[in-house]
């Protein structure tokens, strides 16, 4: 999506009219209408206000998802291959209700996926409040791990929506889910500090603007 499309979608999800958004940003309704039609672009001060109001990053607002993919040679680095495998494993385990395996700990839920030299294992305990770890091995050696701790905050939480959002992870956000994903009344958001080698993050889900889920996570390469 481009900026104008994102702005309109985020505004409507927030339940704001163009007039209400304009009032909160201290601009005219015509300015908001022009932003959403793509006629003009807000200046940096307005972008910062918009990001604060809609609770998304300026980076998410201004960058076209297609432009966020770096152009590189066909030869992939080891890190590229690891990220590709993590994304592949993600859509073949918990997020897709596939490849559940024998518990490795008392009362744990485990998922495992292997392709070539890589093996992925995810194990967690709990339900509405849970904790777990996912790890990747290459040729039998641990190369990546990520720990997570989360909880359900509202009765309108949808596990199916969480899985749907997690399946939308891509090379730009290969940690849990995408920075922003919406389907119907549900909204998923994820923020990360760092990169795949060493990172900390936080994800949350809203239902009709009410937070119903949150999860903290951190991880990186193992050596």
Q: Where are the domains of the chain?
A: 1-60, 71-219
Of residues 115 and 16, more confidently modeled: 115
Of 219, 168, 157, give the one whose Cα is nearest residue 190: 168
Distance between CA 110 and CA 100 in Å, rounded? 6
Distance between CA 170 and CA 83 in Å, rounded? 9
Distance between CA 115 and CA 30 in Å, rounded? 54
Question: What count of other Cβ atoms lies within 10 Å of the Cβ of residue 148?
Answer: 20
Whether residue 167 contacts residue 91, with contact meaning beta carbons closer than 8 Å, is answered with yes
Looking at domain 1-60, which CATH architecture does it have? Orthogonal Bundle (1.10)
Residue 13: the pLDDT is 73
What pTM was estimated for this model as a whole? 0.70
**Residue 49, CA atoms < 13 Å, CB-side half-sphere:** 13
Per-residue model confidence as pLDDT tens digits over 126-184: 999 999 999 999 999 999 999 999 999 999 999 999 999 999 999 989 999 999 999 99
Per-residue model confidence as pLDDT tens digits over 32-62: 999 999 889 999 999 999 988 887 888 888 8
Model confidence at 70, pLDDT cuts 50, 70, 90, reads very low
């Amino acid at each position: 999506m481009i900026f104008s499309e994102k702005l309109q979608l985020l505004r409507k999800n927030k339940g704001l009219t163009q007039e209400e958004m304009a009032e909160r940003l201290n601009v005219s309704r015509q300015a908001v209408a022009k932003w959403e039609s793509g006629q003009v672009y807000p200046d940096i001060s307005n972008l910062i206000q918009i990001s604060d109001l809609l609770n998304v990053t300026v980076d998410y607002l201004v960058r076209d998802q297609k432009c966020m993919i770096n152009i590189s040679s066909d030869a992939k680095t080891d890190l590229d291959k690891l990220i590709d495998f993590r994304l592949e494993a993600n859509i073949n385990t918990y997020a897709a209700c596939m490849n559940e395996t024998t518990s490795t700990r008392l009362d744990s839920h485990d998922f495992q996926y292997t392709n070539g030299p890589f093996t992925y294992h995810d194990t967690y305990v709990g339900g509405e409040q849970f904790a777990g770890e996912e790890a990747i091995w290459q040729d039998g050696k641990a190369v990546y791990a990520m720990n997570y701790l989360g909880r359900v905050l509202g009765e309108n939480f949808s596990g199916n929506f969480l899985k749907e959002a997690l399946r939308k992870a891509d090379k730009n956000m290969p940690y849990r889910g995408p920075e922003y994903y919406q389907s119907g009344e549900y909204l998923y958001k994820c923020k990360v500090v760092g990169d795949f080698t060493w990172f900390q993050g936080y994800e949350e889900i809203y239902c009709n603007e009410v937070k119903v889920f949150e999860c903290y996570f951190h991880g990186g390469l193992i050596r």
